Amino acid sequence: MQLEARLAKLVDQHATDREALARAQAAGAKEMEVLESEMARMRAEMGHALAGSQQRVQKAVMECDELTHKYAEVQARINGSVLAALDSIVSMKPRTTNQLIDLRDTVMAEVEECKNLKM
């Protein structure tokens, strides 16, 4: 009888341990489901954030390319204007030099005329 009581007690203990293990496994499985769901949500959020970041980077690259192109156009226009102005100045030099020579000759002639009048 003692053996039967002891055996019954061990069977009850085994059943209790088994129920506790099943509850622990169920709680662990539930926790894993919650964690996996949270990870899936985080992955989705990160995917959306990554897509948004990539779009912003692409937009910034396009804006940079556009600004670079506009800068090159403006620089070419300015360079063209500066070159045209320099060409104009260089082409004016011979004419201006000739006009100064003519003016000098006129002034010298007038100075000579004044000298002749004083004598």
Q: Give 103-116 pLDDT, tens digit per residue.
A: 999 999 998 888 88
Give the pLDDT confidence of 32-81 residue by residue, as tens digits. Answer: 999 999 999 999 999 999 999 999 999 999 999 999 999 999 999 999 99
The DSSP code sequence of 38-58 is HHHHHHHHHHHHHHHHHHHHH
Q: What is the rounded CA–CA span in Å between residue 18 and residue 41?
A: 34
